[in-house]
Amino acid sequence: MGAMFCIVPLFVAAAPWYNFFMDTLRLTQPLLIRHVRPDEAVALHTACFPDQSLDWVEDYLAWCLAAPGRPARLIAILGSRIVAHVEITPRQNGAWAELSSLVVAEQERRHGIGRRVVSGAVRLARRWGCQEIRLQVDVRKEALISMYRRWGFRLTGLPIAGRRWLLLPIPESQPHPADNQPSTVVF
């Protein structure tokens, strides 16, 4: 009888409907977006920065959290797991904010999580009083540029050193397109 329980999960997990069901469940689960805490460096390293050393993640996280005006690092938590990270930094006395280091855990990509994390960053920038969010992208990463453009960013300026700036104006009260997803943002 025990062997049967080993075979059934493998069969179920391989069924196409199982993948569809899991994707649908993932999209409807509440996503918690909040500031990362120092004690989450190991989980952040595992989920989002496995190619970096753990020491680098811990040191950079400590530096970011050490003083106001340094980058805010937001994480997304699905269930009990960190599944994404984004960094947002106020620039020019809060006139605009720079978005960087958007990373979604590989197994969670293409499910709308990145868009929801960016929406959380937009909310934080709006709270800071920023008028727009800007980010830089390598000009060779056309798919990434297309993704940001679908999210409402527009290209601005000419490429400099192989990078393009994209800009997203932040309306005072209009929600970001991803705000209709089930997310909880805690600042």
Least confident of 10-14, 40-44, 69-73, 84-88: 10-14
In a domain, 151, yes or no: no
CB of 153 closer than 8 Å to CB of 118: no
Write out the residue range of the structural domain in which residue 182 sits.
Answer: 30-131+170-186
pLDDT in tens, 28-37: 678 899 999 8
Q: Which pLDDT score, from 0 to 100, does residue 78 have? A: 92
H-only helix segments in the chain: 2-14, 16-28, 41-48, 54-65, 113-128, 142-150
The more confident residue out of 42 and 64 is 42
Res 177 pLDDT > 60: no
Domain of residue 39, CATH code? 3.40.630.30
Asked if residue 143 belongs to a domain, the reply is no
- The residue among 98 and 173 whose pLDDT is bigger is 98
Q: How far apart are CA 1 and CA 7, in angstroms?
A: 11
Scanning the structure block, which residue is given the tokens 């709006």? 126
Total domain count, the chain: 1
pLDDT digit string (tens) for 109-167?
A: 888 899 999 999 999 999 989 999 999 999 999 999 999 999 999 999 888 899 999 99
Give a yes or no: residue 39 inside a domain. Answer: yes
Rounded to 5°, the CA angle 118-104-86 comes to: 40
Question: Is residue 24 one of the residues assigned to a domain?
Answer: no
Top pLDDT among 180 and 151 is at 151
In a domain, 5, yes or no: no
Residues paired with 99 in a beta bridge? 88
Domain membership of residue 10 (yes or no) is no
Residue 182 within a domain: yes
Distances (CA, A) of 108 to 83, 129, 152, 167, 186: 7, 31, 22, 26, 21
Is 83 part of a structural domain of the chain? yes
Neighbour tally for 89: CB within 10 Å: 17
Tokens of 101: 């280091």
How many Å apart are CA 137 and CA 100, to the nearest integer?
A: 9
Task: Return the percentage of the chain with pLDDT > 70, whole number.
Answer: 77
